[in-house]
């Protein structure tokens, strides 16, 4: 059996508050994973908090500019190589943590009509769409657009800008939506990056 172990020892800033940067707005799967890490880091020696950004590019820039101490990035992010190949960054830790349950959501008290509808999703869970739609549904009658995050997708439905969103259960609760079909959670791997010491 393959077995390995790595220890996570973040550099603690002089403020004693370790700031983790990741993708927002609140209730994204990244936000959920950052809360898990924050709880794991609870210590009498320092505090940990999360700062949410609109894109992972913004997270990367914040780490480069020392606005955050760590960057939390899921391996499903299609440009994660930009973190791995950034000469200023060190990979600090890798862990597995499941996402909240994913599904297809709509506004409460609205009809389910797919023909002519608009579905929004972050690029990562887009492959789930065929599992979330009814088998009989003609996908050519649906407009599918990409959004920056699962929470942004949920917000667009809440605001009436889209009919459906592939999103997670935290965003469904936060933005007062309801699932019409459920996929389940996703066993996700995550990387934590910090800046190299000079």
As a whole number of angstroms, the longest Cα–Cα distance in the chain is 59
- Angle at 149 (CA atoms; ends 147, 154), nearest 5 degrees: 80
Q: What is the DSSP letter of 140?
A: G
Q: What is the pLDDT of residues 114-136, one digit of tens each?
A: 999 999 999 999 999 999 998 87
**Across 173-197, average pLDDT:** 97
Distance CA(129)–CA(142), nearest Å, equals 11
Give the CA-trace dihedral at 41, 44, 45, 51, to 10 degrees: 40
Confidence (pLDDT) at 185: 96
- Is the separation of the CB atoms in 7 and 40 below 8 Å? no
Give the CA-trace dihedral at 135, 138, 140, 142, to 10 degrees: -80
Among 7, 32, 188, which residue's Cα sits nearest to residue 97? 188
Query: Confidence class of residue 140 from pLDDT cuts 50, 70 and 90?
Result: confident
More confident call, 43 vs 62 = 62
- Residue 192 above 90 pLDDT? yes
Confidence (pLDDT) at 3: 77
């Amino acid at each position: 059996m393959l077995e390995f172990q790595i220890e996570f020892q973040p550099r603690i800033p002089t403020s004693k508050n370790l700031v983790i940067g990741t993708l927002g707005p609140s209730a994204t799967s990244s936000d959920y994973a950052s809360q898990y890490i924050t709880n794991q880091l609870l210590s009498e020696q320092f505090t940990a908090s999360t700062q949410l950004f609109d894109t992972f590019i913004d997270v990367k820039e914040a780490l480069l500019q020392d606005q955050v101490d760590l960057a939390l990035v899921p391996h499903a992010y299609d440009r994660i190589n930009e973190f791995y190949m950034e000469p200023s960054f060190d990979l600090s830790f890798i862990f597995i943590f499941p996402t909240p349950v994913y599904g297809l959501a709509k506004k409460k008290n609205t009809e389910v009509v797919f023909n002519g509808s608009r579905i929004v999703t972050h690029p990562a869970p887009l492959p789930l769409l065929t599992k979330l739609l009814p088998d009989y549904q003609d996908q050519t009658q649906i407009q599918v657009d990409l959004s920056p995050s699962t929470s942004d997708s949920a917000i667009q439905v809440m605001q009436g800008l889209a009919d459906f969103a592939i999103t997670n259960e935290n965003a469904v609760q936060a933005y007062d939506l309801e699932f019409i079909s459920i996929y389940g959670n996703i066993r996700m791997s995550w990387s934590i990056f910090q800046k190299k010491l000079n």
